[in-house]
Structure 1
C-alpha cells in the first residue's frame, strides 16, 4: 500500500465532499472545466439547466464574475466556477454569450439608447406621413393616366385641331350642300353668327364667299332662313367697315329694304332692321345709297303699320344715330389734324341730305306719335329724335297742337315721378333725365 501525505489526503477529501454536495442539490449536468488560464485556486464549470426555470430564482450573469446565492439557478451556456479561496460558486456569461453581448447586443443597445422619446415620436410621425403620402400617390395614380399613354392614344386618334377659318369653310360647304336640310342650315347660321362677332372672322367669311350664301338666305322663301341670315349679316357688319363695304357693294342693302317693304313676320323685320342699322352706322356712303333707294319711304310705311311700337322705336333710334354722328363729325372738324381722313369723311357726310329727306317724307309729324306709348323707353327715344330733328322741324313742332299738349302732360307726369325718386334718395334718376329732355325740346320750340 502506498502512503500519501496528510495535505494530499485533505485535498482529496475536500473534492469528494464538493462532488457529493453538488450531486445532492441538483440533478442538472455540471461540468468541471480545467482552468487552462492558470487561474490558481478557481475551477470553472459550464452549466446546463434542463428543469423548469419557472420554479427557481435565475441569476442574470454579466461579463464579470459574480457570486451565486444558495439555490439560485443559472441560464444555459453560462460559466460557473468554484472559488477555492472563498468556497462560493461564481457565474458569468459563457463564451458565446459574452461574444454576443460585447459586439452585436451592445451596439444595438447603445443605438437604441441614443434616441430620446421626442425623437422616437417624430420618427413614428414621419413613418405615418410617409405612409399617407404613399397612399395618396397611389390614389392619384389610379385616377389619372400616364402622359406617355395619353400621347400614344392621341397619336392613334390623329386628332385635328381646326382653326376658325377651317370651321367656317366646313360650315359653308355644308350649307351649300344639296343634301343639307333647312334645320341643318339654320344650325349652321347660328354657329356663324357666333363666330363673326370677331372682326377677323367676319372678314374671312366674306373672302370665302360666305356673303353670297347669306344673301341667298335673305332671298329664301323660308322666313326662318331670312331671319337667321339677316342676324348673321348684322353681326358681321357691326363696327366692321370692311364688311360694310363688301355688303353694300354686293347689293345687300337693296335686298334688306325689299324685305322690309313686303309682308313679313315681325321677327324677320326686327332682324332685318338690325342688319340695316349695322350697315348704315358710321358709313356715309351706305347712308347715301339708303336714301337714294327710297329707304326713308320704306321706313315711314313700316312706322305707320307698326301698332305695337317695337319697330317704331328701332326706326327712330336708327334715325337719331344717323343725325347725331353727322353732327359729331362737324364738331370734330375744328381740328382736322387729329384725323388725316377727316376731310374726306366730312365731304362724304355732306352728300347725305338726311334732315331734308326727313322733312320731306313727313317724319316731323311721325316721330311725335311715339310719345303716345306707355313705355318710358319708347318716350325717351322719341324725345331724343325730336331734339335731333328740331333744326328742320321746329316750325312744324310749334304748329302741332297735339305735340305741345303731349309735352305738357308728360312733364307734369314725370315731375311727380322725380319727386318720388328724390324721396328715396335718387336726385338725378332716370325720370329726371326725361324731364330735362322735355325742357330742352320746349326751349327749341320757342
Structure 2
C-alpha cells in the first residue's frame, strides 16, 4: 500500500512538471522583450512555423513600428510588446542603430547624445588624454626648465657674439653722432647729406634727441645749412630745424641764438622754390610759437613786411593759409598774455607780458595793409582757408573795422558766404550734427557781420 502511494505521488509530480513546461513554452515569446536585439526568427525557425523564403528584414526607424510575423529584427534594435494592441513593435537603438541612419540623421542624433556628456566626464576624458600625472613635482619642473635653458643661449653670450660681429644695437645718441660725422665729412655728396638731414628730422621729434642735437653742436650745422647754395639742403635743413624746436623751449633759445631767425627770413625774402618757402614758414612758426622774445625780434627785423611781400608774390597761393595762421597765432598769444600777465604776480607770465609789450602787433598789421590782404582768402573755394581768414579778420577787428566797412567786396563776400553756410549748416542739423563744422563757420560769419556794423 505504501509503495502504491509513492508511485501515485511520483506520477502526479511528473504531470505537474509537464504542464508547467508546456505553459511556459507556449507564452515565452509573447512576453519576452529582447533588449540586446536577439533575432526572433531563431525561435520561430526552431518551431518550424515559418518558411525561410517568407522571412523579410524589418527596417527600423526612430519611431515604434509594428513587427509582422516572421520579420527579422536587426541587431541593436529595441523591441516591446504593445499591451493595447497585443502586437510586437520595434525601433532603432540609441547607439548601435546609428549605422542605419542617413548621414544627416546620424549627425543630428550624435549631437543630441553629445549634449548628455557631463562636465565631470569631460574632465576625466581630458585627464586621460593629458596623462595620469597632471601635477608634476617641482623636481620635474626644474628639470624641464633646465632642459629649455640648455636649448637657448644667454643674453651675455649673445652680446659677446654681437660685439664680435660689430652688430650691437645703437642708441639714438650714437646714431646722431654718426650722422653728424657723415654730414661733416668732406667726402659726403649732397644726396648723402640730404639723407642725413632726413634721418635727423625723424630723430629730433623726441625732445631729448633735439636737446642732444644741440649739445653735440648739430644745431649750428643745421642753421649753417640754411645758407647752403643747394636748394635741397636748404629745404631739408629748415625741416630739421622746425621739428627740433617744435614745443621745445630750450632748443628754441639755442636756434634763435644761432641766427636761425635771420636766415629763415632771408629764405622767405629771396627767390626760392615754393617747397623751400613752405619748410621755412614751418620752421619760423615753430620758432615764434609761445616765444615772445623771438616774436619781438621778428617784428624788429621786418618780419611782417617780409610776410606781406610773400603773400602778394605771384604763385604763392599755397603759402597764404600758412602766413595768415602764423599771424593769427601771434595775435591771440599776445592778447592772451596781455589779459593774464598785466595784473599777475611777477612770475614767468609777467615776464612774457613785458616782452610782448615791447612791440605793437595790430597797429603794424593795419599799417602794412593786412586789413585788405586777409579778406582775399574768402574768395577761395576751400573751407579751411575761409575759416582761417575769418578768425584773422575777427582778431584784427579793433584796428581794421573802419577799413572793413569801406571795403565793398568784403561785404559782398560775407553776404554770399552767409547764404551758402546757412544751407550747409541746415543740412548738418538735418543729419543730426548740431555743432557741425559748417555751423561753426556760419557763427564766425555772423559775428564778423555784426561787429562790422
User: Any conservation in 1 of the 2:127–2:134 contact (CA below 8 Å)?
Assistant: no
Cα separation, partners in 2 of 1:344 and 1:126, compared to 1, 3 Å: same
1:438 counterpart SS class = helix
Matched, 1:347 2:354: yes
CA distance in 1, matches of 2:265, 2:150: 60
CA distance in 2, matches of 1:318, 1:226: 21
The CA deviation at 1:150 is: 3.5
User: Any conservation in 2 of the 1:356–1:392 contact (CA below 8 Å)?
Assistant: yes
Cα separation, partners in 2 of 1:441 and 1:184, compared to 1, 3 Å: same
Task: Give the aligned partner of residue 211 of structure 2.
Answer: 203
2:131 counterpart SS class = helix
**Counterpart mapping for 1:144-183 below 5 A:** 145-147=152-154, 150=158, 153-154=161-162, 156-157=164-165, 159-183=167-191
Superimposed CA distance per residue, residues 306-355 of structure 1 (whole angstroms, 9 cap, x where no aligned partner)? 54632000000000000001111122237624x72222111110012111
User: Any conservation in 1 of the 2:342–2:350 contact (CA below 8 Å)?
Assistant: no
CA distance in 2, matches of 1:155, 1:188: 25
Q: Runs of 4 or more off by more than 6 Å in structure 1?
A: 118-124, 127-130, 140-144
The CA deviation at 1:207 is: 2.3
The CA deviation at 1:155 is: 5.4
User: Any conservation in 2 of the 1:309–1:373 contact (CA below 8 Å)?
Assistant: no
Cα separation, partners in 2 of 1:151 and 1:219, compared to 1, 3 Å: closer
Cα separation, partners in 2 of 1:126 and 1:311, compared to 1, 3 Å: same
Task: Give the aligned partner of residue 395 of structure 1.
Answer: 402
The CA deviation at 1:156 is: 3.6
1:369 equivalent among 366, 376, 395: 376
Task: Give the aligned partner of residue 428 of structure 2.
Answer: 421
2:414 equivalent among 386, 389, 407: 407
- Looking at CA atoms only, which structure, 1 or 2, has the larger radius of gyration? 1
Superimposed CA distance per residue, residues 370-395 of structure 1 (whole angstroms, 9 cap, x where no aligned partner)? 11100000000000000011111011
1:230 equivalent among 230, 238, 247: 238
Task: Give the aligned partner of residue 202 of structure 2.
Answer: 194
Task: Give the aligned partner of residue 305 of structure 1.
Answer: 313
User: Any conservation in 2 of the 1:306–1:312 contact (CA below 8 Å)?
Assistant: no
Cα separation, partners in 2 of 1:418 and 1:142, compared to 1, 3 Å: same
- The alignment's TM-score, normalised by the length of structure 2, stands at 0.66
The CA deviation at 1:154 is: 3.6
Q: Which runs of 5+ in 2 are unaligned?
A: 1-122
CA distance in 1, matches of 2:433, 2:128: 69
